[in-house]
């Protein structure tokens, strides 16, 4: 009986507890990464909720560390969970694809075909003539939801594989032309938490 209790205590101290700390740290760091993104996107109602859950999990994890200061495996689990949490948080952020971006294309070719393709896809497009280092160029601007970036970049590469393009964050946008494809943020209560609105 004593041997069983000793074994159970050893398993909890050296395996179960570090594993729980590792998992808790992954969750709280991942939520922290997502919370920062929510703050930068202006999700003022959702960010505090995520922050509350994040700090609650962190307190539980650090509380267990303080109770087991003599257990080096807990330290390793805590640090490992932090490292893995950063990776998981970045992956979550990529999957969420929140916000909108400005895609700027500069090309020496006539951009009419690219403009027409983008318009046909429901994207708002602005094009202007410009002067580059090597001569006349055309500059095409379009603001798209982040989830559409890959699709638009593919269209640019089909138009001109050597075209120069840049992608920039947009903190606010109003009354633009956007693809009519419905966003998951337009469903139910999430529409009040969406990262941007197309009007007031």
Report yes or no on 69 lying in a domain.
yes
Q: Which of 96, 115, 143 is the last residue of a domain?
A: 96
15 by DSSP, 3-state: which? Answer: helix
64 and 12 both lie in a single domain: yes
Residues in the chain: 200
One domain for residues 91 and 111? no
Q: Are 145 and 97 spatial neighbours (Cβ–Cβ below 8 Å)?
A: yes
Q: Is residue 197 part of a domain?
A: no
Whether residue 23 lies inside any domain: the answer is yes
In terms of domains, do 83 and 139 share one? no
Is residue 62 domain-shared with residue 107, that is, in the same domain?
no
| 92 and 125 belong to one structural domain | no
**Can you give the pLDDT at residue 174?**
66
Q: Which pLDDT belongs to residue 155?
A: 93
CA dihedral 138, 141, 146, 152 (to 10 degrees): -40
In a domain, 199, yes or no: no
> 96, 116, 148 — which closes off a domain?
96
Domain assignment present for residue 184? The answer is: yes
Structural domain that includes position 29:
2-96
- Scan for tokens 């700027």, then name that residue: 104
| Same domain assignment for residues 9 and 88 | yes
Q: Let me know whether 125 and 85 are in one domain.
A: no
Q: Are residues 89 and 138 in the same domain?
A: no
- C-alpha of 49 from chain center: 17
Q: What is the pLDDT of residue 199?
A: 40
Q: What distance in Å separates the CA atoms of residue 118 and residue 88, rounded to the nearest whole number?
A: 33
Q: State the Cα–Cα distance between residues 32 and 47, nearest whole angstrom.
A: 10
A 10 A CB-CB count for 165 gives 15
Q: Which of 96, 119, 135 is the last residue of a domain?
A: 96
Instruction: Residue 133: give its domain's CATH number.
Output: 3.30.70.120
pTM across the whole model = 0.65
DSSP string spanning 28-95? Answer: HHHHHHHHHHHHHTT-TTHHHHHHHHHHHHHHHHHHHHHHTTT-HHHHHHHHHHHHHHHHHHHHHHHH
Residue segments in the chain with a per-residue pLDDT below the cut of 70: 1-8, 172-200
What confidence score (pLDDT) does residue 196 get? 45
First to last CA, the chain: 70
CB 138 within 8 A of CB 190: no
User: Residue 194 contacts by C-beta under 8 Å, 6 or more apart in sequence?
Assistant: 183, 185, 186
16 and 86 housed in the same domain: yes
Name residue, tokens 């390793």. Answer: 76
* Total domains, the chain: 2
How far apart (Å, rounded) are the C-alpha atoms in residues 113 and 101? 22
Give the pLDDT score at 59. 93
pLDDT at residue number 54: 95
Whether residue 159 is found in the same domain as residue 116: yes
């Amino acid at each position: 009986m004593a041997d069983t209790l000793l074994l159970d205590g050893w398993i909890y101290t050296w395996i179960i507890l570090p594993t729980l700390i590792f998992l808790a740290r992954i969750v709280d760091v991942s939520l922290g990464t997502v919370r920062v993104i929510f703050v930068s996107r202006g999700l003022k109602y959702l960010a505090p909720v995520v922050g509350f859950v994040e700090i609650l999990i962190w307190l539980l994890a650090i509380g267990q560390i303080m109770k087991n200061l003599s257990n080096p495996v807990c330290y390793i689990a805590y640090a490992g969970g932090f490292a893995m949490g950063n990776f998981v948080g970045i992956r979550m952020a990529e999957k969420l694809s929140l916000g909108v971006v400005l895609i700027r294309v500069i090309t020496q070719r006539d951009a009419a075909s690219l403009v027409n393709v983008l318009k046909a896809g429901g994207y708002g497009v602005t094009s202007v003539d410009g002067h580059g280092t090597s001569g006349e160029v055309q500059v095409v601007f379009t603001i798209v939801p982040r989830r559409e970036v890959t699709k638009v970049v593919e269209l640019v590469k089909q138009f001109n594989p050597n075209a120069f393009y840049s992608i920039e964050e947009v903190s606010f946008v109003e009354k633009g032309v956007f693809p009519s494809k419905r966003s998951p943020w337009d469903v139910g209560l999430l529409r009040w938490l969406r990262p941007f609105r197309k009007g007031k």
